[in-house]
Amino acid sequence: MTDRTDRTDLTARGRATAPTPPAPADPAGGAPRPLGEVRRHWPRSFAHRLTAPLPGVRAMARLAREGAARPGRGALDAVPLLPFEPGPLPAVDAGTVAITWAGHASWVIRIGGLTVLTDPVWSRRILGTPARITPVGVRWEDLPPVDAVVISHNHYDHLDAPTLRKLPRRTPMFVPAGLARWCRRRGFTRVTELDWWEAAELPAVDAIGTRTRTVRFDFVPAHHWSKRTLTDTCRSLWGGWVLSDGTTGRRVYFAGDTGYGHWFKEIGRRHPGIDLALLPIGAYEPRWWLSDVHADPEEAVRACQDVGARNMAPMHWATFLLSAEPVLEPLERVRAAWERTGRPREQLWDLPVGSSRLLTVRP
């Protein structure tokens, strides 16, 4: 199941405003939660967190009538031009932050001595979507040992069971509220589920088992939704993650899947000094259907400015055909939008699939 394919209308007409959980005394999210908590109680539905109503039968009928769910035939001619430049993962030490784009929303983030995967999808095909149009940028066998996985929400292009089965079941998993049960049913024993503005910390250890530093995982809001089956709409939460190296203070913000909205400024206020924002720029046409849950390239650049990130790396494009825009258009538009801001070109990390980049030292 991919985004917006069979939603039901769960909210009243008009724009809904999700209630904001109270701000903790510490703007970075307060004291961390214990790892692997089991006895947490969540509401039956998180529909009250939606920031826009879900479309109903009329909207789906219009989408079917217009036939605008995928690019036209001519728009696919540019698929061979999509940037794909796989390379070896860069060598890093514990004080270095490195990112590698595996495709879509899947990143290999190396921070604070840990290797973290975001929304790992190594499958060639996901349910309800044509096969990926670029290969995975990093071969699974080339990955270093994975220290943690973060999941933004449960849509099939972000939560891929075949990929997760490749991981040791003791791999720490950080997931939205309501999703731990799904992970534990598949054998994962170290699952931490968080509400918006909650955090947990994972220590990094050296070769002899000595704790060397700690990475903090803060779960933050997104303008999106969740659904995996016909009966679980909004039964688990959705959001993004701020990963912070407790020693160097470096911060990477992984936005997950999101539309544009008020949450970005609040994330920037509570998490100042973000070094890099990984933001989605694709799957946005037609706008009447997707604007509430998928940012377009111009909105992604605005989101980067709202959160106060020093650098931006686009994602959520060039991998799966989820919507109607031409396949190269997201890259062209995000480059143009960035140029209009007047910000240095080198702060836009428009990486090819499979490429890596290291964070430089803050000035």
- Taking only the tens place, the pLDDT of each residue in 230-249 is 999 999 999 999 999 999 99
Query: Are the C-beta atoms of residues 228 and 215 closer than 8 Å to each other?
Result: no
How much of the chain is in helix, strand and coil states, percent to nearest 5?
20, 20, 60
First to last CA, the chain: 44
**Which sign does the torsion angle of CA 220, 224, 229, 232 carry?**
positive
Q: Report pLDDT for 168.
A: 98
Name the pLDDT band for 17 (thresholds 50, 70, 90): very low
Q: What is the DSSP string of 275-299?
A: SEEEEE-----SHHHHTTTS--HHH
Name the pLDDT band for 361 (thresholds 50, 70, 90): low
With 0.85 as the threshold, say if the pTM is over it: yes
In whole angstroms, what is the distance from residue 299 CA to residue 285 CA? 13
Most confident of 7-11, 59-63, 264-268: 264-268
Name the pLDDT band for 4 (thresholds 50, 70, 90): very low
Mean pLDDT, residues 324-343 taken together: 97
In the predicted structure, residue 14 carries a pLDDT above the cut 50: no
Q: Report how far apart, in Å, the C-alpha atoms of 119 and of each of 50, 124, 239 are.
A: 21, 15, 12
Average pLDDT, the chain: 90
Least confident piece of the model among 75-79, 253-257, 282-286, 297-301? 75-79
In the predicted structure, residue 351 carries a pLDDT above the cut 90: yes
